[in-house]
Amino acid sequence: MPGPVGSVGVVGAGAVGQTVAATLVSSGICHRLLVVSRTVEQAAALAADLDDMRQTTGSPVHPEARRAADLIGCRAVVVAVRATFANTRSSDVRMGGAAANAPVVRSLATALGGYQGTVLVVTNPVDLMTRLFAETSGCPRVYGIGSNLDSARYRLTLGQLLDVPATAVHGHVIGEHGDGAVVCASSTTVNGTPAVIPLAEVRAELRTRPGRISAGVGRTRSGPAGAVLSTLRKSLGLVDGTEELTCEHRGDWLGIPLRFTAGQPVACLPALDAGEDAQLAATVTKLRGAYQALRRPAPSSTRLETT
């Protein structure tokens, strides 16, 4: 695998941003990690903590506290911002942050207008926030982290249900990172062979797993951080492989499999049966409508949460 890249930026010093940053320091993926947060003091505090990690682990990654404008020279930027708001939804939970997070993402995208590197958006609802960042900034390589985490959970869950290693499962979850996720059961194979998928059990686990994690530790963080690292390795050309990411596809933005070769992506959607195709069409319509609603600006806090 090629050596570390020059610099990567992480925006956001909350639970997810901290975990992403720590994961990148431990991975040795870059020489410099530029940390941006709501205040310089927060960024400096996280950079100092990460520097302790660098020293104790012997990592080659040097963390630095910076401002958003300093990220223009980075090979990649990870967007893990979150506005301060109370999410009271019991269904479509990730959509609960749309109105609050949109102004924060829009402001950051404006600050990074014309950036030519790779942007990975983690902020939920990730399918909407990815499109918002891309269309506001004009950046050509913007991807959302979500469907690859869903796909990893799908393979893990199916492996447990069928008593096989997760690595034996080849299958995807596409569409929305949320209630509109489409499990591509008809094209899933186990040990290279088509399998009968217990869809009801799979969907129940995919629906409840994030909530159980959040209830126990406050917020999912390690899974998203791992998905970010895996995507960075592929999008920066360090390894070849496939990630399910939110991106533009035929005029809409949704999670689809992208095959990266030397850092360049090609869409590689699996064949869908009639039911899956109908589910995906409904998800596309849902995401399109939700995004149009976001384009009507409404007063909202742009204060970032840091806990």
Question: CATH number for the domain including 70?
Answer: 3.40.50.720
Tell me whether residue 148 is annotated as binding.
no
Tell me whether residue 134 is annotated as binding.
no
110 and 151: one domain? no
193 and 283: one domain? yes
Assigned token pair, 116 = 């030519």
Tell me whether residue 17 is annotated as binding.
yes
Query: Annotated catalytic residue: which of 31, 62, 172, 177?
Result: 177
pLDDT on residue 90 = 62
Q: Based on the structure, what is the number of domains in the chain?
A: 2
Contacts of 85 (CB under 8 A, 6+ apart): 96, 97, 100, 101, 301
pLDDT on residue 84 = 78
- Residue 162 covered by a domain: yes
86 and 224: one domain? no
d(CA 192, CA 169): 8
**Is 177 a residue of the active site?**
yes
262 and 233: one domain? yes
d(CA 197, CA 280): 18
pLDDT on residue 92 = 78
pLDDT on residue 307 = 32
Tell me whether residue 97 is annotated as binding.
no
- Residue 275 covered by a domain: yes
Tell me whether residue 223 is annotated as binding.
no
Q: Which of 145, 163, 196 is the last residue of a domain?
A: 145
Tell me whether residue 35 is annotated as binding.
no
72 and 186: one domain? no
Tell me whether residue 16 is annotated as binding.
yes
Q: Which of 145, 165, 192 is the last residue of a domain?
A: 145
269 and 282: one domain? yes
d(CA 93, CA 213): 14
Assigned token pair, 213 = 């994690």
Peptide bond into 125 cis (omega under 30): yes
The pLDDT profile of the chain, 307 residues, written as one tens digit per residue, is 788 999 999 999 999 999 999 999 999 999 999 999 999 999 999 999 999 999 999 999 999 999 999 999 999 999 999 987 767 676 777 887 889 999 999 999 999 999 999 999 999 999 999 999 999 999 999 999 999 999 999 999 999 999 999 999 999 999 999 889 999 999 999 999 999 999 999 999 999 999 999 999 988 999 999 999 999 999 999 999 999 999 999 999 999 999 999 999 999 999 999 999 999 999 999 999 999 998 875 554 455 544 3
172 and 126: one domain? no
Q: Are 294 and 132 within 8 A, CB to CB?
A: yes
Helices and strands (H and E) in the chain: how many: 8, 14
> Within 175-263, where are the H helices?
199-217, 222-235
Structural domain harbouring 128: 5-145
pLDDT on residue 300 = 47
Q: Which of 130, 145, 160 is the last residue of a domain?
A: 145
84 and 202: one domain? no
- Residue 307 covered by a domain: no
- Residue 300 covered by a domain: no
